[in-house]
Amino acid sequence: MNFNLTTADRNSVWGLLQKKLEDYYAHTERLKTSVYPTRKEVHEVLSANFERGRSTQEAIKEVFHGLSKYAVHTPHPSYFGMFNPRPNFPSITADIISAVMNPQLAAWGHAPYAVEVEHLLIQEIGKKFGYKTPQIDGVFATGGQEAHITGMLCALHEKYPDFARTGARGLNKQPVVYCSSASHHATIKAARVCGLGADAVKYIEVNEQQEMRVDKLEHQIKADIRDGLQPFFVFATMGTTGSGAIDPIKKIAVLAKKYNLWLHADAAYGGAVRLTKEYSKLLDGIERSDSITFDAHKWLSVPMATSLFLTKHPYVLGRAFSISANFMPQEEDEIDRLGSYTHSIQWSRRFIGLKLYMPLLVFGWEGYEQTIMHQIKMGQYPKEQLTIHGWKLYNKTELPIACFTDEQHEYDLNFSKYIYDSVLEEGSAWIINYPYEEFATLRACITNYDTNEGHLDALIEVLNRKREQYIKKIAPK
Ligand SMILES: *Cc1c(COP(=O)(O)O)cnc(C)c1O
């Protein structure tokens, strides 16, 4: 068996791949945004027989067929769903290069160039958030979830000096984590993975714009101290997943200081505005956080599994993750700190940072700023158009997220469900339904740098049409 294939085979495979990939990339729009098959239908296109191999060309054709037919096409310009982007082209080349050259980032000595690229990006992005060198440290992670877990583990090791040895078993007071009731549930998963359990997380009420109420936060902290618990960690969300709300981080920072809490800024989505002059100020105060989650695989338009964890406590990652292993190359202290086995949840590690380095080499911060500004501008357009067409907006954010419905049906779950289901079924656009406070709203978000007014007009058209159908056929008379 020749795992390399032959040179002739490889050339033919590269040719086929190039054609297929370019076809998808250039014409994503021709596909339906999604189809909803049964499991049986999906199984029909899977090859379950591995007894004997087949040609790479056949294998590639099967995979393209399956993925084209049965996936929500997040790179589609009418995908207005979660924060899944269309990856920019340079970042795609990065993933291919990493796959072929397969650098191992566990130790500096194995991949000095790759480790230094990531170190440089951590420093540069740390500065964008107002952290100061030489305190900036961090690590690339597979997603916001891993970055959150990393942050919580750092805080546990910082606040409880014996944590590395005893784990949660050694705590004599129960630790408490705070986040707003509109925050992402990754907070809960982080608490569970860290062994604290979901009950350690207390949700703090939000105001009508879904921003954390700081008075409620302080009230809860005081109550927990009175009950003999130990408040130790607070998440401030910088752009909630549902509505783009930004928690008042400056005020949260004051409480974090007063009660000795680790302040973690969840900028998984909203962090991107920090790359613009005009909207950077929305995140003012983030420099007061102890650590930050920032997903490049959302608004920075790079492929999945690219996130950053940043902190201004340069030794805390080592405290949380360093394990001396005698089979690992022994390196000088400073560079020892850079390899992922001493400062990441991961051990063997892919060159995650290349997916951000490539587009930065090609477009620079300038290119990112223009693109993010364009998306913010595109976000304004449907908000105006929705209002013109008799829809009501519920959230007030400058970020390109609209939570809306028809005011006549704002409490009508059947209405939002009907619109959602029927829009998705048509396959011309992809949105979600989202409960905004007590209102059954729909949510559309610009996550694609290619989305233009034409796509948005088409979205409004289908929404208006579905609303009419609902009123004619389904609405209770
Ligand atoms: C997406 C998101 C997360 C989770 O990040 P993943 O990259 O999906 O793991 C956390 N917080 C917010 C605000 C998010 O939008």
Alpha-carbon distances of 397 from 209, 245, 453, 457, rounded to whole Å:
9, 7, 19, 21
pLDDT in tens, 240-258: 999 999 999 999 999 999 9
**Residue among 74, 185, 293, 443 whose CB has most ligand 1 atoms within 8 A, to mutate:** 293
Q: Which residues line ligand 1 (CB under 6 A)?
A: 83, 143-145, 184, 186, 237, 240-241, 266, 268-269, 295, 307
pLDDT in tens, 191-206: 999 999 999 999 999 9
What's the gap in Å between 268 CA and the centre of ligand 1? 5
Cα-Cα-Cα-Cα torsion 369, 371, 375, 376, nearest 10 degrees, comes to: 20
Locate the ligand 1 atom nearest the alpha carbon of residue 147 and give its number: 9
Write the DSSP string, 291-354: EEEEETTTTT---SS-EEEEES-TTHHHHHH----TTSPP--HHHHTTSHHHHSS-SS---TTH
For residue 292, list its beta bridge partners. Answer: 265, 310
Number of DSSP helices (H) and strands (E) in the chain, helices first: 16, 11
The residue nearest atom 6 of ligand 1, judged by CA position, is 144
DSSP SS3 for 180: strand
Locate the ligand 1 atom nearest the alpha carbon of residue 183 and give its number: 13
Report which secondary-structure segment, H or E, holds 444: strand 439-445
pLDDT in tens, 207-231: 999 999 999 999 999 999 999 999 9
pLDDT of 39 higher than 70: yes
Residue 290 exposed, middle or buried by CB count within 10 Å (0-12, 13-18, 19+): buried
Neighbouring C-alpha atoms within 13 Å toward the C-beta of 67: 13
Query: At a CB cut-off of 8 Å and minimum separation 6, what does 466 contact?
Result: 418, 419, 422, 423
**Distance between terminal CA atoms of the chain?**
69
pLDDT of 48 higher than 90: no
Neighbouring C-alpha atoms within 13 Å toward the C-beta of 87: 20
Residue 260: phi and psi, rounded to 5, are 55, 50
Report which secondary-structure segment, H or E, holds 26: helix 7-26
pLDDT for res 328 = 63
pLDDT in tens, 351-391: 999 999 999 999 999 999 999 999 999 999 999 999 999 99
Report which DSSP code applies to 271: G
**Residue among 145, 148, 235 whose CB has most ligand 1 atoms within 8 A, to mutate:** 145
The residue nearest atom 3 of ligand 1, judged by CA position, is 144
pLDDT for res 380 = 96
The arithmetic mean of pLDDT across residues 431-442, rounded, is 96
pLDDT for res 332 = 58
The residue nearest atom 5 of ligand 1, judged by CA position, is 144
pLDDT of 2 higher than 80: yes
pLDDT of 416 higher than 80: yes
pLDDT for res 335 = 73
Q: Which amino acid makes up residue 189?
A: K
pLDDT for res 331 = 60
What's the gap in Å between 307 CA and the centre of ligand 1? 9
State the Cα–Cα distance between residues 475 and 70, nearest whole angstrom: 32
What's the gap in Å between 375 CA and the centre of ligand 1? 19
Q: Which two tokens stand for residue 8?
A: 């002739």
**Residue among 210, 243, 295 whose CB has most ligand 1 atoms within 8 A, to mutate:** 295
State the Cα–Cα distance between residues 416 and 440, nearest whole angstrom: 6
pLDDT for res 329 = 65
State the Cα–Cα distance between residues 121 and 98, nearest whole angstrom: 17
Q: Which two tokens stand for residue 2?
A: 């020749």
pLDDT for res 325 = 62
What's the gap in Å between 269 CA and the centre of ligand 1? 7
What's the gap in Å between 245 CA and the centre of ligand 1? 14
Locate the ligand 1 atom nearest the alpha carbon of residue 240 and give its number: 13
DSSP SS3 for 261: coil
The residue nearest atom 15 of ligand 1, judged by CA position, is 241
What's the gap in Å between 26 CA and the centre of ligand 1? 28
The residue nearest atom 4 of ligand 1, judged by CA position, is 144
Q: What percent of the chain has pLDDT over 70?
A: 97
What's the gap in Å between 34 CA and the centre of ligand 1? 22
- Secondary structure, 3-state, 92-161: HHHHHHHHHHCCCCCCHHHCHHHHHHHHHHHHHHHHHCCCCCCCCEEEEECCHHHHHHHHHHHHHHHHCC
What's the gap in Å between 184 CA and the centre of ligand 1? 6
Locate the ligand 1 atom nearest the alpha carbon of residue 148 and give its number: 10
What's the gap in Å between 298 CA and the centre of ligand 1? 9
Alpha-carbon distances of 171 from 80, 153, 166, 380, rounded to whole Å:
44, 14, 8, 49
pLDDT in tens, 63-107: 999 999 999 999 999 999 999 999 999 999 999 999 999 999 999
pLDDT in tens, 280-325: 999 999 999 999 999 999 999 999 999 999 999 998 999 999 887 6
Locate the ligand 1 atom nearest the alpha carbon of residue 267 and give its number: 13
Sign of the torsion angle spanned by Cα atoms 236, 239, 240, 244: positive
pLDDT for res 342 = 84
**Residue among 179, 206, 264, 266 whose CB has most ligand 1 atoms within 8 A, to mutate:** 266
Locate the ligand 1 atom nearest the alpha carbon of residue 297 and give its number: 7
pLDDT of 327 higher than 80: no
For residue 294, list its beta bridge partners. Answer: 308
